[in-house]
């Protein structure tokens, strides 16, 4: 048993160092050269970027050219605005599932590279003081072994020369997986789930929340709400992926 554990341990280290360097992280095709994004050209082409027709508030892709999606029109968002790199479908979905449920922690550096690439254009004119990840509950963190949002956040922050800090906001309630719930249930599920542990770190600061994926935005909005309550000046959200806005979710 002990031997197996040691083998697993070294296997993981080797995977971190080597495996992802020359194979596409999604389809496993051999890469001609090391890719900053870990993807072969075919998979990269399938990654749908979020650029035009986005909701100016939550940053999600919309079917029409309206300034704001219905959810943002009808509900209070506690963040200034949110932006993301890719649509949560196909390749982007596989990447998120890989890091979240497949234990592929090393995906974080590739995801962070997308954030780095988009940061300047998405947050032009915004001065961020502090980068924080969406926290996991203690139990979830133990089960998964790491918080994927923190893994992405710290790599992104160091690349763009920002300060990232874990543990500023903590999750005090072990909520159900948001993806399994409807809009209204999500809101109730997430209520009182977060707490600012270090209010002195956020007071009068502009905070950037990092996450792997944004679905309806209720989690980020709730974190923004507690940050603002702790006197944060402004709160922004930046995620690797976000779901396409769908008309059937206006209950959020
Ligand atoms: Zn591929
Ligand atoms: Zn919106």
Residue 192 domain-assigned?
yes
Domain that holds residue 5: 1-46
The ligand that comes nearest to the alpha carbon of residue 68 is 2
Measured between alpha carbons, how far is 8 from 5 in angstroms, rounded to an integer? 5
pLDDT at 19 over 90: no
Residue 252 domain-assigned?
no
Distance 239 CA to ligand 2 centre (A): 14
Q: What is the mean pLDDT of residues 80-99?
A: 97
Whether 68 and 182 map to the same domain: the answer is yes
Whether 139 and 52 map to the same domain: the answer is yes
Give the chain's domain count: 2
Q: Cβ neighbours of residue 247 under 8 Å, at least 6 residues apart?
A: 63, 70
Distance 244 CA to ligand 2 centre (A): 10
**If you average pLDDT over every residue of the chain, what do you get?**
89
Distance 138 CA to ligand 1 centre (A): 34
Residue 248 domain-assigned?
no
Residue 138 domain-assigned?
yes
Measured between alpha carbons, how far is 59 from 4 in angstroms, rounded to an integer? 45
The ligand that comes nearest to the alpha carbon of residue 54 is 2
Q: Which residues surround ligand 2, an ion (CB under 5 A)?
A: 55, 57-58, 69, 72
Binning pLDDT at 50, 70 and 90, where does residue 13 land? Answer: low
Distance 7 CA to ligand 2 centre (A): 47
Distance 225 CA to ligand 2 centre (A): 17
Tens-place pLDDT, residues 134-184: 999 999 999 999 999 999 999 999 999 999 999 999 999 877 666 666 767
Higher-pLDDT residue of 177 and 118 is 118
Residue 56 domain-assigned?
yes
Measured between alpha carbons, how far is 133 from 152 in angstroms, rounded to an integer? 8
């Amino acid at each position: 048993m002990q031997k197996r554990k040691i083998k697993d341990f070294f296997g993981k280290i080797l995977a971190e160092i080597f495996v992802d360097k020359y194979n596409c992280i999604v389809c496993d095709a051999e890469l001609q050269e090391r890719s900053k994004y870990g993807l072969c050209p075919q998979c990269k082409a399938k990654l749908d970027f979020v650029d035009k027709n986005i909701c100016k508030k939550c940053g999600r892709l919309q079917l029409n050219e309206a300034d704001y999606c219905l959810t943002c029109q009808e509900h209070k968002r506690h963040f200034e605005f949110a932006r993301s790199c890719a649509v949560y479908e196909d390749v982007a979905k596989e990447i998120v599932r890989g890091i979240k449920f497949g234990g592929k922690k090393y995906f974080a550096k590739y995801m962070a590279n997308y954030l780095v690439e988009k940061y300047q254009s998405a947050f032009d004119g915004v001065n961020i003081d502090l980068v924080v990840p969406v926290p996991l509950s203690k139990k979830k963190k133990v089960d998964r072994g790491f918080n994927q949002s923190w893994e992405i956040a710290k790599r992104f922050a160091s690349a763009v020369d920002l300060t990232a800090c874990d543990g500023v906001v903590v999750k005090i309630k072990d909520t159900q997986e948001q993806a399994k719930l409807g809009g209204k249930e999500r809101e109730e599920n997430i209520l009182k789930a977060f707490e600012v542990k270090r209010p002195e770190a956020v007071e009068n600061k502009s905070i950037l929340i990092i996450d792997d994926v944004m679905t309806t935005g209720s989690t980020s909005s709730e974190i923004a709400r507690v940050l603002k309550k702790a006197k944060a000046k402004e709160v922004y959200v930046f995620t690797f992926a976000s779901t396409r806005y769908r008309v059937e979710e206006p209950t959020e």
